[in-house]
């Protein structure tokens, strides 16, 4: 197997050492032949050929890390009132403890993702998340507001390593049409972490000082880091092939062994220029990314807005619950989100059937069927929640509504991610970075106006405003199904993958499955 890109020169043919799969060779301009190192079919060093237990152990370890990333943000919310009293600040200023972390999530991936091209995924996972642990420690000890907010921002920045690399890790380990189930697990962790974090840490916040929330967080995250460190192996194809080429050059004492051009490391200037500029190009020029960003920004904004809204609806001013009681109310969202991966099994089966019927050709539009249902459920669940927040209505009714919201939240986020990945493939890292930027800017901003909105407009009309805005987004999955192919044809990036066959999407030695920035 060979790359579509090659070292300077012309193709010569195939060569191999005895007992090895044939390799394509190229002739340099100086007349010397160069062997291209790729993964031949069945190569045990190719992460896609690893045993399933190893693949899924890596996915599970990183999914656990991703779960704790959201804990890092929402785990503080139940302790925010104690924090505001301790530092003598308003509740809005205390909410910045949540917002600063989420804004760190927005910028982290744009700087951390490029580093994996040089150092591999494993070192970035381990070093970045390990650095984050020191910031959590500092947050538990800090004595001034400015230092606290800076540490919260840096915590978000460095623990966002899973946001930066998990999609690439899944692409490293699984064939393109087999990424649906592992991606659904990743997005379950990414969506359930916020309500689950509020629930878990409400027990600490109820009975202990706000600093103990961060000590508990440090214990959980430290354990997750140890599990990840013991489980991870390098998965990035370009790094593995570069190592193989270097090893063979040393063993055979020749420099005529290289990797395909698409696997070579780019210069830092080019790498960071792409990482910092291309996501904005996608956001401003690609209709598919605009649609996805609208859903991601609004849904994640609401997920963090609920931290403040629930404390009003179910807290002492509403149904009269204490901190732990409010935390328990978040289980409705947790249950709804957790139901999502099971309903996604139907979506995945439908997708595989459509792909098989199309001869294995690329068909992102087959990803939106369940998303159409979720788009309708989304505003209905918000109206339901809004108009059952009266104290005279049993508290379980709005909690049930929140479960339906949680399901629609998960399903719509999964739809946008899988549709984007299928559409842009090797460029999807930049496309998803654009989605992530919007989602986390909105996620940090929404909590800042949650309490004022619900207090000034009333719980019912505040929720209804959110529901009316959700109605405006309902057409998106229907538009993608009907006009998605035309939108992809108009894209200079997506049109390169219009009818990719499953076996041609990522041939050995071609573009790095880590998803080019």
User: CA-CA-CA-CA torsion for 267, 273, 276, 280, nearest 10 degrees?
Assistant: -140
Mean pLDDT of 416-439: 87
Mean pLDDT of 331-358: 95
Average pLDDT, the chain: 89
What is the distance between the alpha carbons of residues 270 and 118, in angstroms, rounded to a whole number? Answer: 13
Model confidence at 22, in pLDDT bands (50, 70, 90)?
Answer: low
> Between 92 and 137, where is the model more confident?
137
9 Cβ partners below 8 Å, 6+ apart? 26, 27, 28, 29, 34
Mean pLDDT of 274-288: 87
What is the distance between the alpha carbons of residues 1 and 172, in angstroms, rounded to a whole number? Answer: 17
User: How many other C-beta atoms are found inside a 10 Å radius of the C-beta of residue 118?
Assistant: 13
User: How many other C-beta atoms are found inside a 10 Å radius of the C-beta of residue 396?
Assistant: 11
Residue 31 has pLDDT above 70, yes or no: no
Predicted local distance difference test score (pLDDT) of residue 21:
52
Residue 280 has pLDDT above 70, yes or no: yes
Phi, psi of 353 (to 5 degrees): -65, -45
Mean pLDDT of 240-253: 89
Which H or E run contains 80?
helix 80-87
> Between 482 and 258, where is the model more confident?
482
Predicted local distance difference test score (pLDDT) of residue 224:
97
Tell me the torsion sign for CA atoms 501, 502, 508, 513: positive
> Between 502 and 451, where is the model more confident?
451
Please provide the DSSP assignment of 48-59 as one string: GGS-HHHHHHHH
User: How many other C-beta atoms are found inside a 10 Å radius of the C-beta of residue 254?
Assistant: 12
Report the alpha-carbon angle 155-428-338, nearest 5. 60
440 Cβ partners below 8 Å, 6+ apart? 102, 103, 105, 106, 300
pLDDT digits (tens, 9 = 90+) for 46-69: 999 999 999 999 999 999 999 999
Give the long-range contacts of residues 311-318, CB within 8 A, separation 24 or more.
311/77, 312/451, 312/454, 312/455, 312/459, 313/389, 313/398, 313/454, 313/459, 314/395, 318/389, 318/391, 318/459
Mean pLDDT of 146-169: 92
CB 443 within 8 A of CB 301: yes
Query: Of the candidates 240, 282, 304, 298, which has an alpha carbon nearest to the alpha carbon of residue 444?
Result: 304
Predicted local distance difference test score (pLDDT) of residue 81:
94
Predicted local distance difference test score (pLDDT) of residue 462:
97
- Per DSSP, the three-state class of 446 is coil
Model confidence at 499, in pLDDT bands (50, 70, 90)?
Answer: confident
Residue 255 has pLDDT above 60, yes or no: yes
CA 119 to chain centre: 20
Rg of the Cα atoms in the chain: 24
Q: Encoding tokens for residue 425?
A: 């493939």
Mean pLDDT of 320-339: 97
Residue 166 has pLDDT above 90, yes or no: no
Burial 444-463 (b: 16+ CB within 10 A, else e): bbbbbbbbebbeeeebbebb
Residue 517 has pLDDT above 70, yes or no: no
CB 192 within 8 A of CB 411: no
Predicted local distance difference test score (pLDDT) of residue 7:
46
Model confidence at 516, in pLDDT bands (50, 70, 90)?
Answer: very low
315 Cβ partners below 8 Å, 6+ apart? 321, 322, 326
Predicted local distance difference test score (pLDDT) of residue 87:
95
Residue 370 has pLDDT above 90, yes or no: yes
Residue 165 has pLDDT above 60, yes or no: yes
Predicted local distance difference test score (pLDDT) of residue 156:
96
Residue 308 has pLDDT above 50, yes or no: yes
Query: Of the candidates 101, 480, 123, 424, which has an alpha carbon nearest to the alpha carbon of residue 279?
Result: 424
Pick from 172-176, 300-304, 445-449: least confident: 172-176
- Per DSSP, the three-state class of 372 is helix
What is the distance between the alpha carbons of residues 457 and 211, in angstroms, rounded to a whole number? Answer: 33
pLDDT digits (tens, 9 = 90+) for 383-420: 999 999 999 999 999 999 999 999 999 999 999 999 99
Model confidence at 512, in pLDDT bands (50, 70, 90)?
Answer: very low
Model confidence at 90, in pLDDT bands (50, 70, 90)?
Answer: very high
Residue 2 has pLDDT above 80, yes or no: no
How big is the chain, counted in residues? 517
Query: Of the candidates 48, 377, 344, which has an alpha carbon nearest to the alpha carbon of residue 188?
Result: 344
Residue 346 has pLDDT above 90, yes or no: yes
Count each helix (H run) and each strand (E run) in the chain, helices first: 19, 4
What is the distance between the alpha carbons of residues 423 and 431, in angstroms, rounded to a whole number? Answer: 10
What is the distance between the alpha carbons of residues 205 and 310, in angstroms, rounded to a whole number? Answer: 16
What is the distance between the alpha carbons of residues 189 and 68, in angstroms, rounded to a whole number? Answer: 9
Residue 342 has pLDDT above 50, yes or no: yes
Model confidence at 514, in pLDDT bands (50, 70, 90)?
Answer: very low
């Amino acid at each position: 197997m060979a790359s579509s890109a090659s070292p300077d020169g012309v193709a010569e043919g195939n060569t191999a050492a005895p007992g090895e799969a044939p390799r394509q060779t190229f002739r340099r301009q100086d007349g010397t032949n160069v062997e291209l190192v790729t993964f031949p079919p069945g190569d045990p060093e190719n992460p896609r050929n690893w045993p399933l237990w190893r693949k899924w152990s890596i996915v599970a370890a990183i999914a656990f890390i991703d779960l704790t990333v959201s804990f890092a943000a929402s785990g503080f919310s139940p302790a925010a009132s104690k924090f505001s009293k301790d530092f003598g600040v308003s509740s809005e200023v205390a909410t910045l403890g949540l917002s600063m972390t989420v804004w760190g999530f927005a910028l982290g991936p744009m700087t951390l993702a490029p580093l994996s091209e040089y150092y591999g995924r494993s070192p970035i996972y381990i070093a970045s998340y390990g650095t984050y642990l020191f910031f959590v420690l500092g947050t538990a000890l800090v004595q001034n507001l400015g230092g606290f907010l800076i540490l919260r921002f840096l915590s978000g920045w460095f623990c966002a390593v899973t946001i930066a690399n998990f999609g690439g890790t899944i692409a490293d380990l699984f064939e393109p049409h087999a990424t649906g189930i592992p991606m659904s697990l990743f997005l379950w962790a990414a969506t359930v972490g916020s309500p689950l974090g509020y629930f878990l840490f409400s027990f600490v916040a109820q009975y202990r000082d706000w600093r103990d929330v961060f000590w508990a967080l440090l214990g959980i995250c430290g354990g997750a880091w140890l599990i990840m460190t013991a489980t991870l192996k390098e998965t990035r194809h370009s790094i593995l092939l570069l190592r193989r080429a270097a090893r063979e050059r040393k063993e055979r004492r020749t420099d005529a062994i290289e990797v395909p051009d698409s696997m070579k490391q780019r210069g830092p200037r080019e790498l960071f220029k792409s990482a910092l500029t291309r996501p904005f190009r996608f956001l401003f020029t690609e209709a598919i990314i605009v649609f996805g960003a609208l859903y991601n920004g609004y849904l994640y904004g609401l997920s963090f807005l609920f931290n403040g809204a629930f404390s009003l609806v179910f807290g002492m001013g509403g149904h009269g619950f204490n901190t732990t009681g409010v935390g328990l109310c978040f289980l409705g969202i947790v249950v709804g989100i957790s139901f999502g991966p099971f309903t996604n099994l139907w979506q995945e089966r439908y997708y595989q059937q459509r792909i098989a019927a199309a001869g294995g050709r690329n068909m992102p539009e087959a990803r939106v069927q369940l998303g159409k249902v979720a788009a309708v459920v989304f505003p209905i669940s918000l109206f339901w929640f809004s108009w059952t927040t009266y104290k005279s209505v049993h508290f379980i009714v709005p909690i049930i509504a929140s479960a339906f919201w949680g399901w629609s939240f998960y399903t719509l986020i999964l739809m946008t991610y899988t549709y984007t990945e299928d559409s842009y493939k090797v460029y999807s890292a930049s496309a998803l970075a654009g989605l992530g930027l919007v989602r986390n800017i909105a996620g940090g901003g929404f909590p800042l106006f949650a309490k004022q909105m619900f207090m000034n407009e009333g719980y019912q009309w505040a929720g209804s405003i959110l529901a009316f805005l959700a109605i405006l987004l309902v057409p998106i999955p229907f538009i993608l199904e009907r006009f998605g192919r035309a939108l992809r044809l108009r894209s200079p990036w997506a049109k390169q993958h219009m009818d990719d066959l499953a076996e041609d999407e990522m041939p050995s030695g071609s573009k790095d499955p880590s998803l080019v920035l």
